[in-house]
Structure 1
Amino acid sequence: MHITLRQIEVFTEVLKSGSTTQASQVLALSQSAVSAALADLESQLAVQLFDRVGKRLVLNEHGRLLYPRAVGLLEQAGEIEQLFKEDNGAIRLFASSTIGNYLLPGMIAAYRRDFPALPLELSVGNSQDAINAVADFRVDIGLIEGPCHMPELISEPWLEDELVVFAAPDAAILQQPITLASLAAAPWILRERGSGTREIVDYLLLSHLPQFQLGMELGNSEAIKHAVRHGMGISCLSRRVIADLLEAGTLVEVAVPLPRLTRTLYRIHHRQKHLSKALNRFLTYCRE
């Protein structure tokens, strides 16, 4: 068997591009050369990697089995090329919103001071978005706010985070003793489902309430802070997210009759993902 890296590269680009025509443009090859390389690879493996549906190529179970290994081979080949050059591999991250907006900027700034020219791509969404991006090999690692339940991903504890229930200074709930019943009666402004913050708030806090009144669901923490500040309800977010408003007195912490609300933030990557030297070096900056 004589599988070449060019054949592997053609396979992965056809998968990403969706056709041999588009893959040929990206690879600067003729369409016939791309088709021939793909046919040679399938011949050596004695399987088809794509189902031919009209003029479309649809990845099948054999292609899905090969893809993560193919990506790993190409990344390792790229690292070999860089062994005797300056290590400047690109880093692709996907972080859930609290991490991406409040924790990573300082960490990335420290990294940039030492490596100002090295490429780094950061995407921000909710935890489920990050999990999907890692599972699809669109990014190298994900940083999320709750546990990951996908067996093909490795999830490692990263940092500890404290959650805080908060309200506007003149909120009605503050005019009476704080009980589970008064918490249940207050309108809650929560992150959307799929958010790591929402998942952990449901588990650590709302599961203790006999019922709770959902005022609204919002897709980011900034919107929640301002909605609470304007007296639309109460919420629960990371202390890091509201620290400035608590200090200014624009928001106030609600002392709940429950144990301290803490959660673990996680780092995730695919089981078949090769963690490059550049990525491991960046991770040394991702600490408190």
Structure 2
Amino acid sequence: MHITLRQLEVFAEVLKSGSTTQASQMLALSQSAVSAALTDLEGQLGVKLFDRVGKRLVVNEHGRLLFPRVVSLLDQARDVEQLFQEDKGAIRVYASSTIGNYILPQVIAHYRKDHPNLPLEMSVGNSQDVINAIADFRVDIGLIEGPCHSPDIVAEPWIEDELVVFAAPQSPLCQGPVTLEMLSAAPWILREKGSGTREIVDYLLLAHLPQFNLEMELGNSEAIKHAVRHGLGISCLSRRVIAEQLENRTLARVAVPLPPLIRTLWRIHHRQKHLSSALSRFLAYCEK
């Protein structure tokens, strides 16, 4: 068997683009060269990797099985090429919103100070968005606020984070002892389903309440803070998210009759993902 990296690169590009024509443009090869490389690869493997539907190529079960291994091999090949030179490959990081907005900026600032010319691509979404991107190999590393249950993804504990129940300072809940019944009757303003914060709040807090009064769901922590500040309800977010508002007393902590609400933030990558030297270097900054 003499499978080449070029054949694997052609396979990966055809899978992503869905045609040999577009793959040839991306790889700066002729369409006939792309078709020949793909045919030769299928011949050596003894299976078809795509179903031919009209002029389209649709990846089949063999192609889906091969793809993550090809991605890993190509990543390792690029790492070998850059072994003795400065690694300028872009690191693709996807973080859930609390991490991306309130934790990662400081990490990136330290990284940029030491490596100002190395490219870094960062995206922010909810935890499920991050998990989906990792599963599809669209990003290299993910940082999320809740556990990940996919068997194809490696999830490692990263740092701990405290969740705080808070309200407008004039709220009766901030004036004296609070019971679970009072929390049950209060109007809650929470993150949307699919958010790592929401999943943990459901598990650590709401499961202890006799009932639950959901006033509204919002997909943005800033929107939640403004809604609570204007007296529309109470909420629960990371202490990091509301630290400034607690300090200037535009929001106030509600002392709930429960143990501290501590969660683990997680670092995830695909099980077939090769952690390059550049990626390992960036992850070292995440641990500082």
SS of equivalent residue, structure 1 residue 284 = helix
Give the deviation of 1:172 after TM superposition. Answer: 3.6
Aligned to 1:11: 11
Runs of 4+ residues deviating >2 angstroms: 172-177
Aligned to 2:159: 159
Structure 1 CA distance for aligned equivalents of residues 274 and 130 of structure 2: 18
Aligned to 2:246: 246
Structure 2 CA distance for aligned equivalents of residues 20 and 117 of structure 1: 35
Give the deviation of 1:174 after TM superposition. Answer: 3.2
Structure 1 CA distance for aligned equivalents of residues 55 and 18 of structure 2: 10
Aligned to 1:218: 218
- CA RMSD of the aligned region, Å? 0.9
Structure 2 CA distance for aligned equivalents of residues 123 and 184 of structure 1: 35
Structure 1 CA distance for aligned equivalents of residues 85 and 257 of structure 2: 58
TM-score (norm. length: structure 1): 0.98
SS of equivalent residue, structure 1 residue 95 = strand
The one-character-per-residue Cα deviations of 1:195-250 (angstroms, maximum 9, x if unpaired) are: 00000000000000010100000001111111101111000000000000000000
Aligned to 1:55: 55
Aligned to 1:182: 182
Aligned to 1:265: 265
Deviates more, 1:166-175 or 1:85-94: 166-175
Aligned to 2:195: 195
Give the deviation of 1:176 after TM superposition. Answer: 5.4
SS of equivalent residue, structure 1 residue 285 = helix
Give the deviation of 1:170 after TM superposition. Answer: 1.1
Question: Which residue type is aligned with residue 79 of structure 2?
Answer: E
Structure 2 CA distance for aligned equivalents of residues 234 and 263 of structure 1: 20
SS of equivalent residue, structure 1 residue 7 = helix
Would the aligned equivalents of 2:187 and 2:234 in 1 still touch at CA under 8 Å?
yes
Give the deviation of 1:175 after TM superposition. Answer: 4.7
Percent identical:
78
Aligned to 1:31: 31
Residues 1:66 and 2:57 are matched in the alignment: no
Give the deviation of 1:156 after TM superposition. Answer: 0.4
Deviates more, 1:99-108 or 1:68-77: 68-77
SS of equivalent residue, structure 1 residue 111 = helix
Structure 2 CA distance for aligned equivalents of residues 275 and 177 of structure 1: 50
Q: How many pairs were matched up?
A: 288
Structure 2 CA distance for aligned equivalents of residues 223 and 177 of structure 1: 27
TM-score (norm. length: structure 2): 0.98
Give the 5 Å matches for 1:79-94: 79-94=79-94
Question: Which residue type is aligned with residue 238 of structure 1?
Answer: S
Give the 5 Å matches for 1:51-130: 51-130=51-130
SS of equivalent residue, structure 2 residue 24 = helix
SS of equivalent residue, structure 2 residue 142 = strand
Structure 1 CA distance for aligned equivalents of residues 46 and 109 of structure 2: 49
Question: Which residue type is aligned with residue 147 of structure 1?
Answer: P
Give the deviation of 1:87 after TM superposition. Answer: 2.1
Give the deviation of 1:145 after TM superposition. Answer: 0.2
Question: Which residue type is aligned with residue 120 of structure 2?
Answer: L
Would the aligned equivalents of 2:174 and 2:253 in 1 still touch at CA under 8 Å?
no
Structure 1 CA distance for aligned equivalents of residues 143 and 51 of structure 2: 35
Aligned to 2:134: 134
Gaps in structure 2 of 5+ consecutive residues: none
Aligned to 2:21: 21
Structure 1 CA distance for aligned equivalents of residues 2 and 136 of structure 2: 28
Structure 2 CA distance for aligned equivalents of residues 177 and 222 of structure 1: 27
Give the deviation of 1:88 after TM superposition. Answer: 2.1
The one-character-per-residue Cα deviations of 1:74-103 (angstroms, maximum 9, x if unpaired) are: 111111111221122221111000000000
